[in-house]
């Protein structure tokens, strides 16, 4: 049986209990609930290995194994597996709010004139204990109340969410306002609107929405255009919105120009268009 290592909690030594009978491992376990304790962290393919994706503060994680300071984990948001520094994890505390501004700051005091402790990205999760004036308090400090919303409060326009990242630097495997890639931009926007979404573009092409014919004249805002290794939001007006290495940023781009540029670079033509339930017009 063939497994996709990215979304299979098995590292050759330890495997999730649900994989018993499907893989051979020294140990099977249910794993323990944890969350990310730092603003953003790289989820690595192996200890000291390349970045696969990124996780944000407060995101839920299942911990399966630790060794030499490294933790083998599975992300709650999409099942992506990999390695984090053990020191980047803490006991799970059910979050109550999330950062719905493009970015925010965590302060030591409820005072925006005081030095910030950290920068928080759109999508970070917090357990708020109380409101103090214009701030909410969480375990690590204070965040402007205007930048957070209850976890149950989702957005309704994924393309509008993606546009919040305009100008964000391109970062391979990135998932934060500090740096993001094409699939991270799609995933962050859909999750913010309550739609499940895998982490990489090839998985998104297989799992999201339904396929529709590629016709630039009939594209709707919110359609997803896929190339091999790339994904972009259709704007429905002859433009696309995407995180791309050509501009090294999240940008709008004329669709016809992008089609020519990508083909000329040797990356082929559009492989499919996927239309999801979020496309309303």
The answer, as to whether pTM is greater than 0.85, is yes
The span from the first CA to the last CA of the chain, in angstroms, equals 41
Read off φ and ψ for residue 186, nearest 5 degrees: -65, -45
For the domain made up of 97-150, the CATH class stated in words is mainly beta
Question: CATH topology of 5-91 equal to that of 158-275?
Answer: no
What is the spatial distance between Cα 83 and Cα 45, in angstroms, rounded to a whole number?
6
Range 158-275 has CATH code 1.10.20.10: no
What is the spatial distance between Cα 37 and Cα 48, in angstroms, rounded to a whole number?
19
In the structure encoding, which two tokens stand for residue 155, read together? 């957005």
Per-residue model confidence as pLDDT tens digits over 112-154: 999 999 999 999 999 999 999 999 999 999 999 999 999 999 9
Q: What is the mean predicted confidence (pLDDT) over 206-222?
A: 97
Q: Is the pLDDT of residue 227 over 80?
A: yes
Q: What is the mean predicted confidence (pLDDT) over 87-100?
A: 97
* Three-state DSSP class for residue 108: coil
pLDDT at 1: 62
What is the spatial distance between Cα 122 and Cα 177, in angstroms, rounded to a whole number?
7
In sequence order, the β-bridge partners of residue 144 are 135
The sign of the CA dihedral 159, 161, 195, 37 is positive
Q: Where are the domains of the chain?
A: 5-91, 97-150, 158-275
In sequence order, the β-bridge partners of residue 75 are 61
pLDDT at 280: 78
For the domain made up of 5-91, the CATH class stated in words is mainly beta
Per-residue model confidence as pLDDT tens digits over 44-75: 999 999 999 999 999 999 999 999 999 999 99
Q: Is the pLDDT of residue 281 over 80?
A: no
| Angle at 75 (CA atoms; ends 155, 12), nearest 5 degrees | 160
Q: Is the pLDDT of residue 270 over 70?
A: yes
Q: Find the radius of gyration of the CA atoms of the chain.
A: 20
pLDDT at 168: 98
Buried b (16+ CB within 10 A) or exposed e, 187-206: bbbbbbbebebbbbbbbbbe
């Amino acid at each position: 049986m063939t497994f996709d290592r990215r979304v299979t909690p098995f590292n050759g030594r330890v495997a999730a209990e649900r994989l018993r009978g499907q893989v051979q491992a020294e140990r099977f376990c249910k794993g323990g609930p944890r969350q990310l304790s730092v603003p953003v962290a790289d989820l690595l393919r192996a200890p000291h290995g390349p970045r696969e994706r990124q996780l944000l503060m407060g995101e839920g994680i299942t911990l399966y194994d630790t060794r030499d300071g490294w933790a083998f984990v599975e992300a709650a948001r999409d099942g992506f597996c990999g390695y984090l520094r053990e020191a980047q994890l803490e006991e799970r505390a059910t979050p109550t709010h999330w950062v719905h501004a493009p970015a925010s700051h965590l302060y030591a005091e409820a005072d925006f004139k005081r030095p910030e402790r950290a920068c928080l990205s759109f999508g970070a999760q917090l357990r708020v204990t109380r409101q103090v004036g214009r701030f909410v308090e969480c375990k690590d400090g204070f965040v402007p109340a205007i930048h957070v919303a209850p976890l149950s409060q989702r957005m309704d326009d994924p393309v509008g969410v993606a546009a919040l990242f305009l100008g964000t630097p391109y970062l391979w495997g990135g998932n934060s306002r500090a740096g993001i890639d094409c699939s991270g931009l799609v995933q962050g926007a859909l999750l913010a609107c309550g739609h499940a979404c895998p982490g990489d573009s090839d998985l998104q092409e297989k799992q999201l929405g339904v396929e529709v014919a590629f016709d630039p004249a009939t594209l709707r805002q919110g359609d997803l255009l896929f190339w091999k290794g790339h994904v972009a939001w259709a704007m429905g007006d002859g433009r696309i919105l995407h995180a791309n290495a050509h501009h090294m940023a999240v940008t709008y781009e004329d669709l016809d120009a992008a089609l020519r540029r990508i083909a000329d670079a040797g990356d082929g033509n559009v492989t499919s268009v996927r239309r999801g339930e979020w496309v309303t017009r």
